[in-house]
Structure 1
Amino acid sequence: MNEVPSSVNPALMRTVDRLAGVCAQVSRRIARGGLDEHLGAAAGTNTDGDAQKALDVIADDAFRAALMGSDVRDYASEEQDVVVTLNKGATLALAIDPLDGSSNIDTNVSIGTIFGIYPAGATPEASFLRPGRELVAAGYAIFGPQTCLMVSFGDGVLKYVLEPETQKFVLLGTIPRVVPESAEYAINASNYRHWPAPIRAYVDDRVAGIDGPAGRNFNMRWIASLVAETHRILTRGGIFLYPSDDRKGYERGRLRLVYECAPIAFLMEQAGASATTGTDPVLDAVPTTLHERIPFIFGSANKVARVATYFDLPSQETSALFNKRGLFRA
């Protein structure tokens, strides 16, 4: 990385610099996918039973190796069962999803890496079983038409772009605050019948468009890559919803608080946006296990706040909204 804010803790900057180096390597490897190896090949399952791809394992190994001899004491990865101690006496703890969106590898859709950095805690697990408000830095890399690194040290969100020839990340500056007005929302509509009533009512009103209470038409987006959804919202606003639902294994949401939700929520708040479970701020949530999942709704602050109003409605009023709308049931 060629430029760093002078106010940033040097240990933090060294850590992010090491992460950036691995991201550049992973980006190049993705670009050559299929030429040298099959990165989308099955490679077992992780601790929660989710299918792993070859690149999941490759990325996890690469980040862990790059952080040996660094300022990171504790390494918690979505691909590992427990916290790994890398450097005794070091001062930082890193939570990482080494390869987000790996189901999209073979379809050439943007995928990425998500990370959050905490001060090391009293014990390895204590480093991560704490509210996201105690993060000192967070970010993600997105491997798309451009490889970008978006990172916050607690004073806005910085955007770096990987220069293809030098393979160095170049700072473009602090991104603008997330815009409040957008006609886009992102949710997997195939799960409509499983959602809680407030989420169905909210989506019904978006589908109703100009004839609904919002008085405007909307476009739905769904990429199934959290970094891609996040990047779009940071760029042009909107809202992303992954609620809990009544399917087995989804009762408390599906995305992981430590590795995905807390770092993204940190970035959102730093960009003037918001992130909640639908009712409570994600950064206030305290995980009880490393791989805990929660409902996750984030985006333009006014839109996230609007979702909360649906949870405040009495159940009979929410049901009444269903009866008037509900195109998904047609």
Structure 2
Amino acid sequence: MRIGTTLTNYIIQNQRHIEGATGEFTGLLNDIAVACKKIADLVNKGALVNVLGATDSRNVQGETQKKLDVISNELMIEALRYNGHIAALASEEMDSVYHLPANAPRGKYLLLCDPLDGSSNIDVNVSVGTIFSILKAPDGVTNPSEKDFLRPGTEQVAAGYCLYGPSTMLVLTTGHGVSMFTLDRDFGEFLLTREQVEIPVDTGEFAINMSYQRFWDQPITQYIEECLQGADGPRQKNFNMRWVASMVAEVHRILTRGGVFLYPCHSQLRAAGKAGKLRLLYEANPMAYIVEQAGGAASTGLERILEVNPEEIHQRVPVILGARNEVRRVDELHRSEAG
């Protein structure tokens, strides 16, 4: 595909190779792109339009919602509910599935999204983003329920994210590699700027929140210790550490220059009754799909993320993703501990 191709033309050209394609998928991606452009505009303006700061509400996970969390969720719903491209939507910011209005046309897709990932960074002007995952809606179901969303990540039709940084970028996979699009603000279109993204199998860079070190399980402790020992340790090379506290930014860095990202479960999370920090359906699955399509790997430490069978829509899992050989090493340490 020619660099500079618009997102719409890119999808249309790819759909020509799919038997029975109707254009509905192209329409859905355009809906998502419209919502992302609106969110990007608000993120860019920030305090100028009074969207910074927290609300008085909490989401289903018990987290205080930022103003832009709520607004971004509303913008995603607004862009999708009457266009006939989805049958229902599930969001990290809502307790349950969002059902379309009775008079709205139904489409053949389900959308799962984290409307504003990394929202703790909003007030300090650090990159945030939107993550989305697309599934096929079950045939003949006009009002999908939660159980219709509970499918492993291997069943995703597409996944992507939009990064709101110095430039706004939309990263997408439909199961045939990963492509990156950059928003040209002069005429409001996402333009193709990179195709067939590949993550190097080896890396000298890891990302983890070191403040939880005292709570880690032994496999994570050992892995990070190996990295920190650098050229003098068993890995015989030096590692750099990064941490942005925005999964979109972390994954984008890995796609751009390599690396590995770890958000493991630990004793403090377990004490709170949680199996991990990141949500399987809204964060782990779409990012795992993207990373695998770029030649990387994504694991909970014990199993491939895309093969986890979800039990509820806000389920959490440990996440280790990025350079294939590093993810494999973390998996080896977990299996060794498990015996």
The TM-score, its normalising length taken from structure 2, stands at 0.90
Aligned to 2:46, what secondary structure does the other structure show? coil
Shift of 1:34: 0.8
- CA 1:80–1:94: 2 relative to 1, 3 Å: same
The residue number in structure 2 matching 1:76 is 90
Aligned to 1:7, what secondary structure does the other structure show? helix
Contact 1:40 1:102 in 2 (8 A): no
In structure 2, how many angstroms separate the alpha carbons of the residues matched to 1:38 and 1:69? Answer: 26
In structure 2, how many angstroms separate the alpha carbons of the residues matched to 1:175 and 1:105? Answer: 30
The residue number in structure 2 matching 1:271 is 294
Q: Sequence identity, in percent?
A: 41
Shift of 1:158: 1.3
- Does residue 4 in structure 1 map to residue 4 in structure 2? no
- Does residue 162 in structure 1 map to residue 175 in structure 2? no
The residue number in structure 2 matching 1:203 is 224
- Does residue 120 in structure 1 map to residue 134 in structure 2? no
Contact 2:86 2:111 in 1 (8 A): yes
In structure 1, how many angstroms separate the alpha carbons of the residues matched to 2:186 and 2:303? Answer: 44
Shift of 1:89: 3.6
Cα-to-partner distance string for 1:234-268 (whole Å, 9 max, x where unaligned): 11111000001001336411100011000001101
- Alignment match of 1:49 (pick from 48, 62, 68): 62
Q: Flag structure 1 segments of 5+ consecutive residues without an equivalent.
A: 317-330
Greater displacement, 120-129 / 149-158? 120-129
- CA 1:7–1:127: 2 relative to 1, 3 Å: farther
Contact 2:82 2:105 in 1 (8 A): no
| Structural mapping, 1:311-322, within 5 Å | 311-314=334-337
Q: State the one-letter code of the partner of 2:10.
A: V
In structure 2, how many angstroms separate the alpha carbons of the residues matched to 1:136 and 1:127? Answer: 15
The TM-score, its normalising length taken from structure 1, stands at 0.92
Shift of 1:84: 1.2
- CA 1:215–1:131: 2 relative to 1, 3 Å: same
The residue number in structure 1 matching 2:199 is 178
- CA 1:314–1:295: 2 relative to 1, 3 Å: closer
Greater displacement, 36-45 / 153-162? 36-45
Contact 1:111 1:225 in 2 (8 A): yes
- Does residue 17 in structure 1 map to residue 30 in structure 2? yes
Contact 1:242 1:296 in 2 (8 A): yes
- CA 1:166–1:233: 2 relative to 1, 3 Å: same
The residue number in structure 2 matching 1:229 is 250
Contact 1:12 1:137 in 2 (8 A): no
Shift of 1:124: 2.4
In structure 1, how many angstroms separate the alpha carbons of the residues matched to 2:124 and 2:42? Answer: 15
The residue number in structure 2 matching 1:328 is none
Greater displacement, 276-285 / 245-254? 245-254
In structure 1, how many angstroms separate the alpha carbons of the residues matched to 2:288 and 2:152? Answer: 11
- Alignment match of 1:92 (pick from 109, 128, 132): 109
Q: State the one-letter code of the partner of 1:97.
A: D
Cα-to-partner distance string for 1:74-133 (whole Å, 9 max, x where unaligned): 100001111112246421100000000000001110000000000013542233101000
Contact 1:253 1:294 in 2 (8 A): yes
Contact 1:239 1:297 in 2 (8 A): yes
In structure 1, how many angstroms separate the alpha carbons of the residues matched to 2:125 and 2:298? Answer: 28
Q: State the one-letter code of the partner of 1:27.
A: A
Contact 1:245 1:251 in 2 (8 A): no
